[in-house]
Amino acid sequence: MIREEEATFAGGCFWCMVHPFDTYPGVKRVVSGYTGGRTVNPTYEEVCSQATGHREAVRITFDPEVISYRQLLDIFWRQIDPTDPDGQFSDRGSSYRTAIYYHSDEQRRQAEASRGELGESGRFGRPVVTEILPAQAFYPAEEYHQDFYQTNPSHYNRYRAGSGRDAFIAVHWNDPRA
């Protein structure tokens, strides 16, 4: 019997958060969307206006028998600058702030432990500020945002490289799979 669980991560631009998770066995789906805000079913334009309180995020459906939540946390940390309280890379503002949205007490415990370990690792010169929050309503983004790295590879690759994300990952993680 295949079990499924969900994980939700806000890591700046959701386009850049799909591909890293999509490539791992055990990940069933990665959906780009919005969470953490006040408006029901917000649009991309509303979220980008910074008026709804939502963050761009990904909701991952995974088989915990194949890939653990802890492994997903490790992948997440390697995609972001966890020390930036004002957005991610070239994307600034509250809708691009990082967060881990936990779906259970066990996910909360693991997220807090992994954040603590990362903070104590000395990898970054500043404190880790990524929030850990209870999962809230998640609204899938418009269809043109889904699997953007596959449907618009040239645009995606230019954006990802130009945003500074890849350079940051290379410097801080030295990991080609990150």
- Per the annotation, the verdict on 13 as an active-site residue is yes
Query: 13, 30, 47, 75: which is the annotated catalytic residue?
Result: 13
Nearest to 22 by CA among 104, 65, 79: 79
Q: Provide the 3-class DSSP secondary structure of residue 152.
A: coil
* Nearest-10 Cα torsion for 77, 18, 61, 116: 10
**Gap between the Cα atoms of 67 and 25, Å rounded:** 7
- Under a CB-based contact definition with an 8 Å cutoff, are residues 166 and 67 in contact? no
Cβ of 127: how many Cβ atoms within 10 Å? 9
Q: Which residues belong to the active site? A: 13
